[in-house]
Chain A
Amino acid sequence: MEPPLLTIPSALIFFVFASLIFSSTPSPQELQIVNAERRIDLSSHIVRVFLTLKVENTGTSPASEVLLAFPPTQFEHLALVKAAAAVGKRKKKSYTPLTVKSSELIDAPNGAKFFSVLLLNQLNAGETVTLEILYALTHSLEPFPEEISQSEPQLVYFRDSAIILSPYHIKEQTTFIKTPSTKVESYTVVEPTNRANTELKYGQYNDRAPYSYSPIIIHFENNHPFAVVEELLREVEISHWGSIQITEHYKLVHAGARHRGVFSRVEYQSRPSISGVSSFKHLLARLPPRVHSVYYRDGIGNISSSHLRIDSKKSELEIEPRYPLFGGWKSTFVIGYGLPLQDFVFEAPDGSRYLNFSFGCPILETIVDKLTIKVVLPEGSKDPNAAVPFAVDQHMETKYSYLDVVGRPVVVLEKNNVVPDHITPFQVYYKFHPVFMLAEPLMLITAFFLLFVTCVAYLHIDLSIQKS
C-alpha cells in the first residue's frame, strides 16, 4: 500500500514562510493591550471564554503575531482556540478569522503555554487592532462534593485567575463570569468584585504587569447534564449505489459528581424536581436532513426509547439511554443511519470525487474525549486524502466487507478533546471509477452461472463404473 498523501493546511505553509521572512519577531514587550474584556460562560459543562483584546504596538518594528498565554492546567483542558480580527466600527463591524497556532516562548514563567495569533496585516508601530478570541475548556468544572446522593444538587468548582494571564502589559481589563443560576456558594473576592444575578464581575483592573496572576475559585451549582463521550467512533461508509451509511459507537458517561448510595426509583419518578436534578435521561442528536433507516441499539438489542423528527432542514433524534444517567454511570450505544449519496459526495472539477461531511459529535453539548472518524471509501478508490480545518491525526486502513476482494481504503481521522464548536465540514478527496461498482454483481453472476453449469454438467455425466 502506498503511503497516504496528507494535506498540510495551507496556513501552515504560509506560516513556515512567514517565520522565515520575519525571523525576528518582536519581543512581547513591544506590544501592549489597551483594553481587555473577558466573558466566561459557565452555564454548561463546557467552559467557553470570549476574550476581546485591543492590542497596540508600542515598539518600533512591525509585529505580525499576538501571543495568548494559558496556565498549564488550563492548557491541558483546552479544546479549541479561535481568533478573529474585528474590522470596522460598531454596526459595520465584520470579523475575519485568523490562524492560531501553538507557540513556545523560552523565558515563559511557571510553565505558561502559548498560542500565537497570526495577524493578517502587520501591525505597524503605533497601530492598534481588535482581536476577538474564543476558547473552550473541557473537564474544568470540578465537582465538589465529589459524591452526591440522589436528592442533592451538583456543586462544582471553577478555578481561574481574576487577571488575564498575558505576556503583555494590560492597561484595562474586566472579567465577567456567567453562572447557570443564582445559586453560588462562594467566590473569591479580588476587589473590585461585584455579583449581580447570575453574573460575577471582576474588575476593572488597571495597569497590570505581564504574567500577573490572581487565582480565584467559584463554587456554584451546575445541574447541566455533564454528558461526556469517552470514545466515539464514527464510521462513514460510502456506496456509489446511492447511499452513505453512518454508524456511530458511543461510550457515554456522566462526568459530574458521582452518585452515591441508593437509587430509589420511587423518588425519581414521584419527585422529579428535587430528585436526581443533575442526572439526565434525554440526549438530542442533530442529524443531517433526509436521513433514513435510523437505528439506535446497544450490544443487547434495540433501545426502544427514541424519537425522530425530520423536517427539510434538519433531523432531530431524541435518544434516551436505557436508564437515567447519574454521576459516574456509564452507557454504551450505537446510532446508525443512512443518507442519500448526492447530498454529501460531489465531483471536483479535476474529476476526482470528494465527501463533504461534518466533523464532531452530533449529540448536542457533549464533550468527546476521543473521536475517531473512519471514512470507508468504495472498493477501487484511489489517492484518498482528507482536508480538515484543524490538526488531526490521520492514517489509512483497509476494511473488508460484503464480498470485497482487495478491500476498501479507509481514511482514519483521530482527534482528542472535541467540543461542539468543532462541528465543521471536512472533505475527503478520492478517485473512483464507476466500473468498480459492477465488480460485486458480476462476481455473484459468475458464481451462480458456474453453479448452474456444474449442475448441468453433473446431470449429463454418468460417473458409474459399471453400465447397467
Chain B
Amino acid sequence: MAEMENAKGSTLRYACGNVLSFFILILIGVLAFSIRLFSVIKYESVIHEFDPYFNYRVTQFLTKNGIYDFWNWFDDRTWYPLGRVIGGTVYPGLTLTAGSLWWLLNSLNIPLSVETVCVFTAPIFSAYAAWATYLLTKEVKGTGAGLTAAVLLAMVPSYISRSVAGSYDNEAVAIFALIFTFYLYIKTLNTGSLFYATLNALAYFYMVCSWGGYTFIINLIPMHVLLCIVTGRYSSRLYIAYAPLVVLGTLLAALVPVVGFNAVMTSEHFASFLVFIILHVVALVYYIKGILSPKMFKVAVTLVVAVGVVVCCAMMAVLVALVASSPTKGWSGRSLSLLDPTYASKYIPIIASVSEHQPPTWPSYFMDINVLAFLVPAGIISCFLPLSDASSFVVLYIVTSVYFSGVMVRLMLVLAPAACIMSGIALSEAFSVFTRSIKFQMPKLLDDSDPVPGDIASANSVVQSNQAKVEKHSAVDKSEGTLKERPQKKSKKKEKEPLEKASIKSQIEKKLLVLPLESSVLAILLLVLLGAFYVVHCVWAAAEAYSAPSIVLTSHNHDGLHVFDDFREAYAWLSHNTEVDDKVASWWDYGYQTTAMANRTVIVDNNTWNNTHIATVGTAMSSPEKAAWEIFNSLDVKYVLVVFGGLVGYPSDDINKFLWMVRIGGGVFPHIKEPDYLRDGQYRIDSQATPTMLNCLMYKLSYYRFVETDGKGFDRVRRTEIGKKYFKLSHFEEVFTTHHWMVRIYKLKPPKNRIRGKTKKSKSSPKTSASKKDDRVKKNPWR
C-alpha cells in the first residue's frame, strides 16, 4: 500500500469504505428485523394487542374486496347502531402498504397469508427506518454518525415496543416515513435539488397516509424554516426545500380522505401557511434587495413595512376572530392535550383514560431510550460545532420531541429517532476524536518512519482488539477522513481531488485536538462498555418487556410454562356459537378484538369517536342490573362481555378500569356520580364498598358465582375478599366463562311474559294495588 500512488490509494479506500458501509447497513437491517422476532419465537406469529387487530381486519377487507370497496367501506359491525365509515376515517398508509406487499407476494405465487404479511410488516419497516436514519444522520454529520445512529435506532427499545413482529400499527410504518421525510427535507436543503423536493412531498404524503403524527412534520419543518430565516440563513435552497413541500404536500394530504379539507382548515396546519407567506416575503425582500440600490431599498422598506403592517394586522384580526369563534380554537382534542398537558384530564376523560396518553415517568425514559438519554446532550453540543442548516434542524427536532414525549408516553416514539441521531452523532464524534488522538500518537510510540500507512495499521490494531461493534466505527472513521466535508459542500460524486486536499487540511487542523493516548484508550473502552450496556438492555427489552402479544399471557411456575389463552377462547366461542348478527357489548378496549376475532357486531370500540355512545355503555356497566338490562336491550345487545382477572391475578381487567367507565358515563349522564362508587375517596370492592358499587352490573357480572371457586371469594388482583358474595342475576345469564375466568360472557335474558301478566293484573285491579304499585316504583327508580 505504501508503494501505491496517493490518489489511487484514496480511491481504493473510498471504495472500500462504501462497500463496507453498504454491508454494515445490510447487517443493521438484519439486526433491526431479527431483534423484533422475539415475539414470534417466544409466542407465535400473531397480531398483537388492540389496534393492530383493527388494522388487520381492514387489511383483510382490502385484500378480499379491492381498493375501491375499501374506500367506500361502511362497517356495520361496529358502533352499532351508528356504524363507521372506515374508508374515510382510517389512515390508509399501513393497510395499503401491507395490502400491496401481500398482493405482490401472491402475484409471484408465494402463498403467504394476510396475517403473516401483517405480522412482519413492522420489522421490515423498522429496517427501513434504520436505513432512513443513516441517510438523515449522514446528511447532518457524515457517514460515521449515520451508521452509529442507524445501529442505535435498529434496537432502541422505544421503537421496538411499537414494532415487534405482530405489532401491526400505524407507528410501525410512520416512523420510517417520518425519518425519511426529514431526510429528504435535509437533502433538499443541502442540495437545493427540486428532484429531492418532489420526493420530499411524496414522502410527506406517505406519512400523512400513515399516521396522525404527520402534523408534527408540518409544524416542525416550518419552525425550522422560520429559525433559518430569523438566524439569517435564508437561501434559495431553503426556498426549494420548503415551498414545494407546502404546496404539493398540502394538495397530496388533502387527497387522503381522513385528512381532506383539514389540511387547510385546522389550526394544526396553520403554521405551515404562515411560514409559507413569511418565506415568500423574505424571498421578495432578498430579490428586491438584489435589484435595487441600497438607498432605494431603504425607501422601499419603509414603504412596504408601513403598508404591510396595516394589511397584516387586518388579516390577523380576521384570522384570530375566525379561529376564536370555534370552541376548541380550531385544534383537535389530541393536539390541544399536547399543547396543554392538563387539557385532557380536565375535559376529555376518554383521552386521559388511555394509559399511553399519560405523561411518562422518569424510569420510562431510562427504559425506552436508555443510555441515549445521557448521550443526547453531547450530540446537541457537537451539532453546534459547527452549526449548519441540517444540524440546526436535528437540534430543533430533539428539543420539540423531548417536550412532546414529556406530555404523552406514546410520543416517546417520536423522541427515539431524534435521540438515536443525537447519540449517533455524539458517539461517532467521540470515537473520531479518540481514535484520531491514538492515531497521531501511535507512530511516536512505535517509532515508525512512514506515518500514513502506520496510522491506519495502528488505528486498526487498537480498535480490532475491542469489540466487533467498535470495528464498525473504526471502519467508518477511516472513510470518514475523506467523507467528512461532503455534506457541507453540496457537491456531487465526482469531486475527489478537492476533497482529498480538504481532508489533508482537516487532518492538520485536527492535530490540534489531540488528547493524551492513555485517556483516549480508556475513554474508548468506556464508550464501548456503554454501548455494550445499551445492547444488553435493548435485547432484554425486546425479549422480555415488549414481546408479549397481550392476547396470550404466560406465566412460569415450578411445573413449567403456563399459557393463559382465555381471550381467544372467548372470541372463538363467540364466533362459532352465536348468531352472526348478534351484538356484543363490552368496554371499548375489546371492541377491535371482538370484531376482528369473533366477527360480531360491537357497540363501541377503540376508535372512541363518539363519546356519548361510550358513555352509554359506561353508564350501563355502572348501573344496577335492571337499568343496565334496559340500556342494553334498547341497543339490541344480546351478549355482554366482561374481562375479569380476579381468579388468576390479571391486573388490567374491567374492575380496575371501572372508575373510568363511571367517569365517562357520568360525564354524559349526570345520574352516575363517581362519589357513589367510592368509600371515603377510595375505590374498593370488599365489604366496605358502597352499595352502589356492590349492585352495579360490572361488579355482578365479574363476581357472579366467584365465591364458589374457593369458598371465600378472594380476589387476587385487589388482594381482598369481595364484598358481596352470594347473589343471583335476574336479567342476565352466564353463557360462557373461559378456563381461567378471564373472560365472562353473559346473555341478556329475554323479557319475560310474566311481567306483562303482572301488569295486566295490576291494571285489572288498579284501585286495590295502588299502594303496592307505588312501592314498586320506589324500589325500581330506573323504570
Taking Cβ atoms with an 8 Å cutoff, the residues of A that contact B are 261-266, 270, 298, 300-305, 322-323, 328-332, 400-405, 468
Q: B110 within 8 Å of A by Cβ? A: yes
Q: Closest residue of chain B to A403, judged by CB?
A: B109
A-B contact count (CB 8 A): 77
Q: Which residues of B contact A330 (CB under 8 A)?
A: 576-577
Q: Closest residue of chain A to B596, judged by CB?
A: A300
B734:A300 contact, CB within 8 angstroms: no
B737:A322 contact, CB within 8 angstroms: no
A301:B736 contact, CB within 8 angstroms: no
Residues from 453 to 482 in B contacting A, C-beta threshold 8 Å: none
A263:B737 contact, CB within 8 angstroms: yes
Q: In the bound complex, what is the Cα–Cα distance between A298 and B569 (angstroms)?
A: 11
What are 17 A-B residue pairs whose CB atoms fall within 8 Å in the complex? A263-B735, A265-B734, A265-B737, A270-B708, A270-B709, A298-B572, A300-B572, A301-B46, A301-B551, A302-B46, A304-B563, A322-B568, A322-B569, A328-B577, A329-B573, A401-B111, A468-B494
B109:A329 contact, CB within 8 angstroms: no
Q: In the bound complex, what is the Cα–Cα distance between A298 and B110 (angstroms)?
A: 21
A263:B736 contact, CB within 8 angstroms: yes
B735:A262 contact, CB within 8 angstroms: yes
Q: Which residues of B contact A404 (CB under 8 A)?
A: 109
State how many angstroms separate the Cβ of B602 from the closest Cβ of chain A: 16
A301:B734 contact, CB within 8 angstroms: no
Q: In the bound complex, what is the Cα–Cα distance between A403 and B109 (angstroms)?
A: 5
Q: Which residues of A contact B572 (CB under 8 A)?
A: 298, 300, 322-323, 331
SS class, residues of chain A in contact with chain B: loop
B571:A300 contact, CB within 8 angstroms: yes
Q: B485 within 8 Å of A by Cβ? A: no
Q: Which residues of B contact A328 (CB under 8 A)?
A: 577
Q: In the bound complex, what is the Cα–Cα distance between A402 and B105 (angstroms)?
A: 9
B737:A402 contact, CB within 8 angstroms: no
Q: In the bound complex, what is the Cα–Cα distance between A270 and B707 (angstroms)?
A: 13
A400:B109 contact, CB within 8 angstroms: yes
A329:B111 contact, CB within 8 angstroms: no
8 A-B pairs with least C-beta separation = A265-B737, A301-B46, A330-B576, A304-B563, A322-B572, A322-B569, A400-B109, A302-B44
Partner of B708, one of A266, A298, A322, A403: A266
- Given contacts A263-B737, A301-B44, A322 and B709 within 8 Å (CB-CB): no
State how many angstroms separate the Cβ of B110 from the closest Cβ of chain A: 6
Contact mask B106-127 → A, CB, 8 Å, 1/0? 0011110000000000000000
Q: Which residues of A contact B737 (CB under 8 A)?
A: 263-266
- Given contacts A304-B552, A323-B569, A401-B109, A329 and B576 within 8 Å (CB-CB): yes
Q: Closest residue of chain B to A281, judged by CB?
A: B739
Q: B597 within 8 Å of A by Cβ? A: yes
Q: In the bound complex, what is the Cα–Cα distance between A305 and B739 (angstroms)?
A: 12
Q: In the bound complex, what is the Cα–Cα distance between A323 and B568 (angstroms)?
A: 10
Q: In the bound complex, what is the Cα–Cα distance between A282 and B576 (angstroms)?
A: 18
A403:B705 contact, CB within 8 angstroms: no
A265:B738 contact, CB within 8 angstroms: yes
Contacts A266-B708, A401-B109, A403-B110 given; 7 further ones with Cβ under 8 A?
A264-B705, A266-B705, A301-B46, A302-B44, A305-B563, A402-B109, A468-B494
Q: Which residues of A contact B708 (CB under 8 A)?
A: 266, 270
Point out which of A322, A403, A404, A405 has the most chain B C-beta atoms below 10 A from its C-beta.
A322
Partner of B741, one of A265, A329, A331: A265
Q: Which residues of A contact B738 (CB under 8 A)?
A: 265, 323
State how many angstroms separate the Cβ of B235 from the closest Cβ of chain A: 22
Q: In the bound complex, what is the Cα–Cα distance between A300 and B571 (angstroms)?
A: 9
Q: Which residues of B contact A266 (CB under 8 A)?
A: 705, 708-709, 737
Q: In the bound complex, what is the Cα–Cα distance between A403 and B108 (angstroms)?
A: 6
A322:B565 contact, CB within 8 angstroms: yes
Q: Closest residue of chain A to B565, judged by CB?
A: A304
Q: Which residues of A contact B589 (CB under 8 A)?
A: none
Q: In the bound complex, what is the Cα–Cα distance between A305 and B737 (angstroms)?
A: 17
Partner of A331, one of B44, B551, B568, B576: B576
Q: Closest residue of chain B to A253, judged by CB?
A: B576
Partner of B576, one of A304, A332, A402: A332
Q: In the bound complex, what is the Cα–Cα distance between A124 and B639 (angstroms)?
A: 71
Q: In the bound complex, what is the Cα–Cα distance between A261 and B750 (angstroms)?
A: 12
Q: In the bound complex, what is the Cα–Cα distance between A189 and B108 (angstroms)?
A: 69
State how many angstroms separate the Cβ of B281 from the closest Cβ of chain A: 35
Q: B733 within 8 Å of A by Cβ? A: yes
Task: Kindly state the interface size class of chain B when it binds its partner.
Answer: 20 to 34
Q: In the bound complex, what is the Cα–Cα distance between A347 and B44 (angstroms)?
A: 39
Q: In the bound complex, what is the Cα–Cα distance between A406 and B108 (angstroms)?
A: 12
Q: In the bound complex, what is the Cα–Cα distance between A302 and B597 (angstroms)?
A: 13
Partner of A262, one of B44, B109, B576, B733: B733
Q: In the bound complex, what is the Cα–Cα distance between A305 and B109 (angstroms)?
A: 33
Q: Which residues of A contact B568 (CB under 8 A)?
A: 300-301, 322
Q: Closest residue of chain A to B749, judged by CB?
A: A261
Q: Which residues of B contact A270 (CB under 8 A)?
A: 708-709
B734:A264 contact, CB within 8 angstroms: yes
B577:A261 contact, CB within 8 angstroms: no
Point out which of B492, B568, B734 has the most chain A C-beta atoms below 10 A from its C-beta.
B568
Q: Which residues of A contact B569 (CB under 8 A)?
A: 322-323
Q: In the bound complex, what is the Cα–Cα distance between A263 and B735 (angstroms)?
A: 5
Q: Which residues of A contact B734 (CB under 8 A)?
A: 262-265
A402:B573 contact, CB within 8 angstroms: no
State how many angstroms separate the Cβ of A11 from the closest Cβ of chain B: 39
Q: In the bound complex, what is the Cα–Cα distance between A376 and B565 (angstroms)?
A: 34
Residues from 726 to 745 in B contacting A, C-beta threshold 8 Å: 733-739, 741
Q: Which residues of A contact B576 (CB under 8 A)?
A: 329-332
Q: In the bound complex, what is the Cα–Cα distance between A300 and B45 (angstroms)?
A: 10
State how many angstroms separate the Cβ of B647 from the closest Cβ of chain A: 10
Q: Which residues of A contact B552 (CB under 8 A)?
A: 301, 304
Q: Which residues of B contact A304 (CB under 8 A)?
A: 552, 563, 565
- Given contacts A329-B576, A402-B111, A323 and B736 within 8 Å (CB-CB): yes
State how many angstroms separate the Cβ of B179 from the closest Cβ of chain A: 25
Q: In the bound complex, what is the Cα–Cα distance between A403 and B110 (angstroms)?
A: 6
Q: In the bound complex, what is the Cα–Cα distance between A230 and B741 (angstroms)?
A: 30
Q: In the bound complex, what is the Cα–Cα distance between A329 and B576 (angstroms)?
A: 7
Q: Which residues of B contact A332 (CB under 8 A)?
A: 576
State how many angstroms separate the Cβ of A103 from the closest Cβ of chain B: 41
State how many angstroms separate the Cβ of A407 from the closest Cβ of chain B: 9
Q: Closest residue of chain A to B492, judged by CB?
A: A468
Q: In the bound complex, what is the Cα–Cα distance between A402 and B705 (angstroms)?
A: 53
- Given contacts A401-B111, A402-B109, A329 and B705 within 8 Å (CB-CB): no
B577:A329 contact, CB within 8 angstroms: yes
Residues from 548 to 564 in B contacting A, C-beta threshold 8 Å: 551-552, 563
Q: In the bound complex, what is the Cα–Cα distance between A359 and B535 (angstroms)?
A: 54
- Given contacts A266-B708, A301-B46, A302-B44, A402 and B110 within 8 Å (CB-CB): yes
State how many angstroms separate the Cβ of B627 from the closest Cβ of chain A: 23
Q: Closest residue of chain A to B166, judged by CB?
A: A301
Point out which of A266, A301, A402, A403 has the most chain B C-beta atoms below 10 A from its C-beta.
A301
Q: In the bound complex, what is the Cα–Cα distance between A142 and B709 (angstroms)?
A: 36
Q: Which residues of B contact A300 (CB under 8 A)?
A: 46, 568, 571-572, 597
Residues from 613 to 666 in B contacting A, C-beta threshold 8 Å: none
Q: Which residues of A contact B110 (CB under 8 A)?
A: 401-403
Residues from 687 to 710 in B contacting A, C-beta threshold 8 Å: 705, 708-709
Q: Closest residue of chain B to A329, judged by CB?
A: B577
State how many angstroms separate the Cβ of B481 from the closest Cβ of chain A: 24
State how many angstroms separate the Cβ of A205 from the closest Cβ of chain B: 47
Q: Which residues of B contact A298 (CB under 8 A)?
A: 572
Q: Closest residue of chain B to A440, judged by CB?
A: B109
Q: In the bound complex, what is the Cα–Cα distance between A154 and B569 (angstroms)?
A: 25
State how many angstroms separate the Cβ of A408 from the closest Cβ of chain B: 10
Residues from 158 to 178 in B contacting A, C-beta threshold 8 Å: none
State how many angstroms separate the Cβ of B639 from the closest Cβ of chain A: 12
State how many angstroms separate the Cβ of A301 from the closest Cβ of chain B: 4
State how many angstroms separate the Cβ of B543 from the closest Cβ of chain A: 19
Q: Which residues of A contact B492 (CB under 8 A)?
A: 468
Q: Which residues of A contact B739 (CB under 8 A)?
A: 265, 323
